[in-house]
Chain A
Amino acid sequence: MPAPRYRSRSLRRVFVRTPSGKSVLHYRKRKPSKAQCGNCGALLKGVPRERPFKMQNMPKTHKRPERPYGGVLCSKCTRIKIKAMARQ
């Protein structure tokens, strides 16, 4: 029987292979939810789903697409937005 704090599902379970070949159960914190478009709510591509301590060590170019509104709006919504701005 695992310790009481490990009996809830608030931690996610990861199987880790030890150097001796055993597979051991580790408990880790859950990943945050996927990034969404601020306009239409679609899931964003090119935005990793990691905890903040891992995101901190990543370079900026790995964390969002390199275009205006990258990591905030999806590509469809940016196109619509830029078109609307150009037509004004």
Chain B
Amino acid sequence: MFEIGRLCVKIAGRDAGKKCVVIDVLDNNFVLVDGQTRRRKCNMRHLEPLDKIISLTKNASNDEVIRALKEESIGCEEKKEAKHKQSQRPTKKKAVKKKLEEAKPKKVKTKEAKETKKENTENPEKTETKKKSINKEHKSVE
């Protein structure tokens, strides 16, 4: 009844209603099945045999079983290799935060803070003048 290559339907469990092929006979109660179901040991009582026999070798691999079942026009889900995508950490957010912090200096009422502020305001002008001077030099070189 349950020889190697026998097409079956699983009756019990979460694979119930799915088609599978017997790959190996383990003893007089259990067989190894594969196909639409998971590849697993299975009690013969949980299988309903169909009248088709597929030519398969003992312990055929999952790919071979799927190929054989496709020829019988029985579709199977091919097992995909699990791809663990590394979660990309948001690096941009930190940069944005830093910019915001620079743009909004904390309000401190001490005189030193005011002085530093003034310096900060003065500095960009200096840098601009420097840049201008550099540009002029470049022009002269050209």
- Chain B 12-29 residues near chain A, CB threshold 8 A: 12-14, 16-17
Q: For residue B9, which residue of chain A has the nearest CB?
A: A86
What is the interface of chain A, defined by CB distance below 8 A to chain B? Answer: 66-68, 75, 78-79, 82-83, 85-87
Report the Cα distance A63→B135, complex, angstroms.
Answer: 75
Interface of A is mostly: helix
CB-CB under 8 A for A68 and B17, given A82-B48, A83-B48, A86-B50: yes
Taking the closest CB of chain A, its distance from the CB of B5, in whole angstroms, is: 17
Taking the closest CB of chain B, its distance from the CB of A12, in whole angstroms, is: 35
Report chain A residues within 8 Å CB of B11: 78-79, 82-83
Q: How many residues of B contact A (CB 8 A)?
A: 9
Report the Cα distance A75→B12, complex, angstroms.
Answer: 8
Q: For residue A84, which residue of chain B has the nearest CB?
A: B48
Taking the closest CB of chain A, its distance from the CB of B6, in whole angstroms, is: 13
Residue-wise interface mask of B (47-60) relative to A, using a CB-CB cutoff of 8 A (1 in contact, 0 not):
01010000000000
Report chain A residues within 8 Å CB of B48: 82-83, 86-87
Report the Cα distance A87→B14, complex, angstroms.
Answer: 20
Known A67-B13, A82-B16, A82-B17; further 17 A-B contacts with Cβ < 8 A: A66-B14, A67-B12, A67-B14, A68-B16, A68-B17, A78-B11, A78-B16, A79-B11, A79-B12, A79-B16, A82-B9, A82-B11, A83-B11, A83-B48, A86-B9, A86-B50, A87-B48
Taking the closest CB of chain A, its distance from the CB of B29, in whole angstroms, is: 17
Report the Cα distance A83→B50, complex, angstroms.
Answer: 10
Report chain B residues within 8 Å CB of A86: 9, 48, 50
Report the Cα distance A86→B52, complex, angstroms.
Answer: 12
Report chain A residues within 8 Å CB of B14: 66-67
Report chain B residues within 8 Å CB of A68: 16-17
Taking the closest CB of chain A, its distance from the CB of B17, in whole angstroms, is: 5
Taking the closest CB of chain B, its distance from the CB of A53, in whole angstroms, is: 28
Report chain B residues within 8 Å CB of A79: 11-12, 16
Taking the closest CB of chain B, its distance from the CB of A40, in whole angstroms, is: 17
Report chain B residues within 8 Å CB of A78: 11, 16
Taking the closest CB of chain A, its distance from the CB of B51, in whole angstroms, is: 9
